[in-house]
């Protein structure tokens, strides 16, 4: 491989080259183009880097233009920004009360969103710009193209010819030895919300092939509530007053059974059909936490329908249904940004869902779900060793597909129990319950079939510095030595193991890369929703000021307390008791007070 090594030397030195060797390596396998430059191969041994609009020039897009030099000089590092945003609460309390808050939130939204290509650029079938990659919404999109399939190693040219066994990786680095609670006090209410929320757009369709998505929804469309096809939606609808089908048990509303709404649901054969709940997402019968959220959104939909019908007595079933769906989409985005992401970030800057902040800047209101986002969001370390419901512990075998837990305990009891139980820490490794190891192994295997680029290539793509050593990556010696033994080179470390094993921020749920890569996907997907566009974001879209205000004032607490008889303790983190042993949300007696 002398010729290959010489090619690599030339690439590193930023020297133009063109020659033929008997063992020529695809030059793009070296990933020579930096700063989002695009590698284009010519003949067998030639390449060019397209540096258009990267802010850099030169053979490998490494020489910064003047404005790039200035920007890099004044731009704070992600680590420094995170430090400032998660400390000095007194300072942020002042900022949050002024117009400066809006300016900073707008900056956060635009900077993060601009990291995601729009329109989409690649998919798993095309490692270059093509109309198919843009127009075929059956695919997940991709931020980085696949590793060329003629490279000498799975990660290009770095590392070993064969990657470590995926089962060995999860057993060695991810398997839980003891439960590690999240230092941010994230709870199971958050964990089940994450699962429920993301199942509307993370729908891998393996039967179609690699990199396909089931359905056509690429964002917050509430298909997990209404179904991902028109046929499923119609089966779930009551076709009266805009409402969804439901059943009443002990005076409370729950999803209908598959007998009354015959949609395909995944349940064990041992569960009779009269006990199988029919929901928008076919897998939600798996966990009581998912059934709980499905019930809350069902109740919220039918509640909003009643409000709209009273205000608009001339409206028919279809307009009531469609307008209610838009309101619930808005409520979801508001909850995700101001409750969910706010907690996850740990920022003292108070985030804000206000689409008008982006009306004065260039922004595209269309989203495509990336396969990298799908892989990144496998946060199964959140799951505990067992589930505590009203003082009773349930192990996995008694919790999974426990169809009666929802109706036996009721929504209030589940909400309060999940709010009180702390979730696991996601980053840092060795915190995945043995029952869930197969999921992590599956993610790693899928990433290999899709030929995802290395963890360091993704760090560079999102404006982060590549790690030089495994010691720098983990912050310790034992795990880093074992990783080096298995991978051979830090530039061969895979995307998903990198996200879960990276050293975490102090007192944080995960590390720098998860934040810096996850936030752009999340914020672009949320703010790129059509309801956030100038054409949609106005009272008439939501049936008037009443519906508009439902969106603008939504919260996780209101979602729960407006749809139960007794307002329980509810938050996305374990609450600290107030002086005297009271909890903040306990003061709310009913949803009406919210």
Cβ pair 39, 31 in contact under 8 A: yes
> CA 30, CA 28: separation in Å to the nearest integer?
5
Task: Report CA dihedral (272, 278, 279, 280) to the nearest 10 degrees.
Answer: 120
380 assigned to active site:
no
- The string of DSSP codes covering 387-429 is EEETTEEE-HHHHTT-TTHHHHH-HHHHHHHHHHSBPBP-SSS
Phi first, then psi: what are they for 397, rounded to 5°? Answer: -65, -30
Task: Mention every residue, 6+ apart, whose C-beta is less than 8 A from residue 116.
Answer: 143, 370, 520, 521, 524
List the one residue out of 452, 526, 496 whose CA is nearest residue 218.
526
199 assigned to active site:
yes
Phi first, then psi: what are they for 494, rounded to 5°? Answer: -80, 160
**Angle formed by the axes of helices 288-311 and 411-420, nearest 10°:** 120
Out of 199, 224, 246, 301, the active site residue is 199
Q: Tokens for 143, please give them.
A: 């931020």
Cβ pair 347, 86 in contact under 8 A: yes
> CA 283, CA 289: separation in Å to the nearest integer?
12
For tokens 């900073």, what's the residue? Answer: 104
List the one residue out of 406, 423, 424, 418 whose CA is nearest residue 569.
418
Q: Name the CA radius of gyration of the chain, rounded.
A: 25
For tokens 């496998």, what's the residue? Answer: 378
Phi first, then psi: what are they for 63, rounded to 5°? Answer: -95, 115
80-108 as b/e: b if 16+ CB within 10 A: ebbeebbeeeeebeebbeeeebeebbbeb
- The string of DSSP codes covering 422-439 is BPBP-SSSS-B-GGGHHH
Q: Report long-range pairs for 572-578 (Cβ below 8 Å, ≥24 apart).
A: 572/186, 572/187, 572/189, 572/190, 572/193, 572/339, 572/340, 572/343, 573/184, 573/185, 573/186, 573/187, 573/190, 573/343, 574/185, 574/187, 574/419, 574/420, 574/421, 574/422, 575/419
Phi first, then psi: what are they for 242, rounded to 5°? Answer: 80, 5
Q: Residue 466: is the preceding peptide bond cis (ω within 30°)?
A: no
Out of 30, 126, 377, 487, the active site residue is 377
Beta bridge partners of 148: none
Which residues participate in catalysis according to the annotation? Answer: 199, 377
């Amino acid at each position: 491989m002398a010729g290959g090594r010489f090619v690599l030397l030339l690439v590193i030195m930023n020297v133009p080259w063109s020659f033929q060797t008997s063992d020529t390596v695809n030059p793009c396998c070296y990933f020579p183009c930096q700063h989002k430059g695009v590698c284009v191969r010519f003949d067998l041994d030639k390449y060019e880097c397209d540096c258009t609009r990267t802010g850099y020039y030169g053979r490998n897009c490494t020489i910064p233009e003047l404005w790039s030099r200035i920007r890099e000089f004044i731009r704070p590092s992600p680590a420094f920004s995170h430090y400032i945003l998660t400390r000095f609460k007194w300072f942020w309390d002042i900022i949050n009360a002024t117009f400066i808050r809006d300016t900073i939130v707008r900056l956060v939204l635009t900077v993060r969103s601009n990291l995601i290509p729009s329109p989409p650029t690649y998919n798993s079938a095309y490692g270059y710009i093509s109309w198919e990659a843009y127009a075929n919404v059956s695919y997940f999109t991709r931020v980085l193209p696949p590793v060329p399939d003629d490279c000498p190693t799975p990660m290009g040219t770095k590392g070993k010819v064969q990657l470590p066994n995926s089962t060995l990786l999860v057993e060695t680095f991810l398997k839980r030895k003891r439960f590690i609670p999240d230092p941010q006090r994230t709870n199971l209410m958050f964990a089940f919300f994450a699962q429920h929320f993301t199942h509307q757009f993370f729908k891998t369709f393996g039967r179609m092939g690699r990199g396909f998505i089931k359905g056509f929804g690429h964002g917050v469309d509430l298909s997990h509530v209404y179904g991902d096809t028109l046929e499923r939606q119609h089966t779930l609808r009551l076709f009266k007053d805009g409402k969804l089908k439901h059943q009443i048990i002990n005076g409370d509303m729950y999803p209908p059974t598959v007998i009354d709404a015959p949609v395909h649901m995944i349940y064990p054969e041992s569960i009779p059909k009269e006990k199988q709940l029919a929901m928008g997402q076919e897998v939600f019968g798996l966990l009581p936490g998912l059934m709980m959220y499905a019930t809350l959104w069902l109740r919220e939909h039918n509640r909003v329908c009643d409000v709209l019908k009273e205000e608009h007595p001339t409206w028919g079933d279809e307009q009531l249904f469609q307008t209610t769906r838009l309101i619930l989409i808005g409520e979801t985005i508001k909850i995700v940004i101001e409750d969910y992401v706010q907690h996850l970030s740990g920022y003292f800057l108070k985030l804000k869902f206000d689409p008008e902040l982006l009306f004065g800047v260039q922004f595209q209101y269309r989203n495509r779900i990336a396969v990298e986002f799908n892989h990144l969001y496998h946060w199964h370390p959140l799951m505990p060793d067992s589930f505590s419901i009203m003082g009773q512990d349930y192990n996995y075998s008694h919790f999974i597909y426990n169809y009666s837990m929802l109706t036996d305990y009721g929504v209030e009891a589940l909400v309060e129990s999940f709010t009180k139980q702390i979730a696991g820490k996601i980053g840092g490794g060795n915190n995945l319950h043995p029952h869930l190891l197969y999921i992590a192994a599956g993610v790693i295997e899928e990433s290999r079939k899709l030929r995802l680029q290395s963890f360091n290539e993704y760090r560079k793509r999102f404006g982060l510095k590549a790690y030089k050593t495994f010691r720098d990556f983990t912050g310790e010696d034992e795990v880093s030595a074992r990783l080096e033994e298995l991978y051979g080179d830090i530039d061969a470390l895979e995307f998903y193991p990198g996200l879960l094993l990276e050293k975490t921020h102090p007192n944080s749920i995960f590390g720098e890369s998860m934040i810096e890569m996850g936030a752009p996907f999340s914020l672009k997907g949320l703010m790129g929703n059509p309801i956030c566009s100038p054409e949609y974001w106005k009272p008439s879209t939501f049936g008037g000021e009443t519906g508009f205000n439902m969106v603008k004032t939504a919260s996780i607490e209101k979602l729960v307390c407006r749809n139960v008889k007794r307002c329980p303790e509810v938050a996305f983190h374990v609450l600290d008791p107030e002086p005297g042993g009271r909890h903040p949300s306990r003061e709310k007696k009913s949803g009406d007070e919210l």
